[in-house]
Amino acid sequence: MADPAAGTQANPTSLGWRYEILVPDPGPPPHRPAPPDRIRVTQEWIAAQRAGEKRTNRPLHLMLAALAGLSLLSVLLWPVRVLPGVFALGVCLASVVVALPVGVALLQSRQAMRERLRREEERLAAESAERERDLRERQEDHARAYTEWQRRKRAYDAQPRWYTVRPPEDAHTVVVAGGTEVGWSALLATVGTSVLRVGGDLTVVDLSGRAVAGELCSLVKRSAVNPRIWVLPADLPRMTLGTNLGAGPRARILASLACASDAKADIDADETLLLRIFEVLGPQISIAVLIGGLRALSTPADDPGTEGDAVLRQLTAAQRAELRARCGRDRAVRERAWELEHHLAPFEGVGRRAAEEPYAQIKVIATDRTLGDVAARAYGTYTVAALSELLELRATRTTRAAGAAAPPWRHTVVVCGADSVPEHDLERLAETASFAGAGLVLMFREVGEDTAHWLAGEGCFPVVMRQPGSRAAARVLPALRAGGARGAGGPGADTRAPVVKVHRLTEVIAEALSGSVADSYVEDSAEGVTAPVTMRNAATSVPPLDLVRHVRAATAWGRTTAQAAGLDGGGPGTGDVLGDHRLDTHGLRTLPHSAMVLPGPGGPVLADANPGILTLPTATLGTVEEAPEASAPADAAPVGDDGGPPPNLGPPPERLDWRAVPEG
């Protein structure tokens, strides 16, 4: 795993990993030029030249033979007195005179033959020298080409292949459309990993009914940090969220809670009524005392049954009278007080057994899976409204102290199952999170008609995961067109389904962990941290190499990714690990569990939320945009003993075929 490049953006939150090969494959190395065959005068050429000379000199040899025979005959006929001596001597002298130029001609022919052989040897020597010069030039060119190939090969082998994906700098809300519980679990673990790396804060509101933050909690505990986990409604008595605020924020929280349970409720009227109760009874009263105040408003003063009501006994007679005087005694007030009491009754025990707890860096607020949709909506609304008030209070204090707005994404809030929360509460949470410099991640099971505007909202970064149905897939398709969500549906927009590349690692690991989400946040003691380490409530930061070890040891994603590390290609067979996936309605319904489709400048890109990718040696904490250009420092060309390139640089040439007939 490589560290990010210098000058990274202020937003440290990572959403996943994107597979990209920025440095192209240089291909096979250039072959070393083969030296030419050594050329020299062959015996066949000499024999052919001599044969030609023999044919040319054959008449002269015949003439010499005839003259020699004539001289010999005349000498033989002289002793037998057939020829006189003078005549025989004359014949011999005449033969010598004729044979003398013939012999000179033969000697000149032999000299010409030797001269031709010498010129041929000189020509072949010059040609051989020319070939040697050409070979040296080709070897020098090959040395430069091979050195360049080595540089490109080193850059190709050393480059990262998995780059982190962060929200854009101008985005304060990440909107996750769709996704399965497995995909949400991977995304939460990845976000938590980036938060731990920089020592940031993370608050998870889990309304899925399952322990989708279970892998995150295991990772946090392995990092020697104690997460604070509240599972509602069992942990309501020890939950302090929203109990230590002023009268105004508490009234707004409880009014939002009542509005979530009753769509026809007037949230402003409820807030005003609750504020008057707080003014009479005090801003720090418990929900139980507040319910007593509502009971006092909904019960007539002359009702004889009030003396035995344990709820009303929490208030004095003077307080009950003052409440009725401040809030009114008409029928509308009594009916609304009765409705508010009914809606707030499940929260009567909030903070009853709460103790003074230290600051917790990682907080998880979840709902039990046995709750129905109505109860989950109520608990989720209370949590989201309380978080909005706390973020606004924190932003106000920070602005007053520093005199400037808070830096972006200093705190991350994740809402899993944002469909369960009313729309106006989500909008208020997004507004206060942006004001407080906190990053917000909203996970919708399905984007409906009333929530589709989040995909194209100002400051929202859309992320599309596996869709539950065809209608939901059709709603998110416009956000995947070229130009992103903000330009979706414009004139001239491309209506063809885009195609993205899916890595085989994404498909295999997500399918292997499709049923790995636990039903409860109760951890098995056999899988917990057994090493004698000092647990703390927060950590300034966790080094990346320590995070790699923790992810591999504490999460199922890390263990499975380590086992399947061989699927992380990148060599010449990279095409074998990448497959095309069409982003139509069917393609969005069949996305791998951890796959995320993000808008890019050239169209949608696919990322993987798998936190185990951090353990791969080809992963980097930098983004694709932060990656340097594909270049490497030039290396000095190797030099041989004689000042030239070494003769054995590069791969050997192809073996010569002995059956081939050499030319020439």
Mean pLDDT, all residues of the chain: 83
* Contact predicate 427/256, CB 8 Å: no
Residue written as token pair 């020699």: 68
The per-residue pLDDT for range 94-104, each reduced to its tens digit, is: 888 888 888 88
Residue 438: pLDDT over 80? yes
The Cα 9–Cα 530 span in angstroms is: 37
Q: What would the mean pLDDT of 450-465 be, rounded to a whole number?
A: 89
306 phi and psi, to 5 degrees?
-75, -25
Residue 387: pLDDT over 90? yes
Lowest mean pLDDT among 287-301, 563-577, 617-631: 563-577
State residue 467's pLDDT score: 94
What sections of 418-564 are H helices per DSSP? 423-436, 470-476, 504-512, 544-554, 556-563
The Cα 472–Cα 468 span in angstroms is: 7
* Cα 165 off chain centre by: 6
Q: What is the CATH number of domain 163-243+352-487+497-526+533-620?
A: 3.40.50
Count of beta carbons in the 10 Å neighbourhood of residue 212: 30
The Cα 404–Cα 275 span in angstroms is: 31
Amino acid at 356: E
Residue 242: pLDDT over 60? yes
Predicted confidence band of residue 9 (pLDDT cuts 50, 70, 90): very low
Query: What pairs with residue 412 in β-bridges?
Result: 202, 439
Amino acid at 22: L
* Contact predicate 356/222, CB 8 Å: no
Residue 212 belongs to what H/E stretch?
Answer: none
Both tokens of 548, joined, read 């790699």
Domain definitions of the chain by residue range: 43-158, 163-243+352-487+497-526+533-620, 247-347
Predicted confidence band of residue 367 (pLDDT cuts 50, 70, 90): very high
Residue 648: pLDDT over 70? no
For residue 189, give the nearest of 444, 14, 360 by alpha carbon: 14
Please give the DSSP secondary-structure letter assigned to residue 208.
Answer: S
The Cα 616–Cα 159 span in angstroms is: 13
Q: What would the mean pLDDT of 606-620 be, rounded to a whole number?
A: 93
Report in angstroms the alpha-carbon separations of 545 from 313, 529, 614. Answer: 60, 19, 10
Instruction: Let me know how long the chain is.
Output: 664
* Contact predicate 220/192, CB 8 Å: yes
* Contact predicate 563/620, CB 8 Å: no
355-359, 548-552, 564-568 — which one is most confidently predicted on average?
Answer: 548-552
Count of beta carbons in the 10 Å neighbourhood of residue 307: 8
Predicted confidence band of residue 441 (pLDDT cuts 50, 70, 90): very high
> CA Rg, the chain, in Å?
47
The per-residue pLDDT for range 514-559, each reduced to its tens digit, is: 888 888 887 655 555 555 667 778 888 889 899 999 999 999 999 9
* Contact predicate 662/37, CB 8 Å: yes
Q: Does the bond joining 26 to the residue before it have cis omega, within 30 degrees of 0?
A: no
* Contact predicate 501/560, CB 8 Å: no
Residue written as token pair 């000199």: 57
pTM (two decimals): 0.80
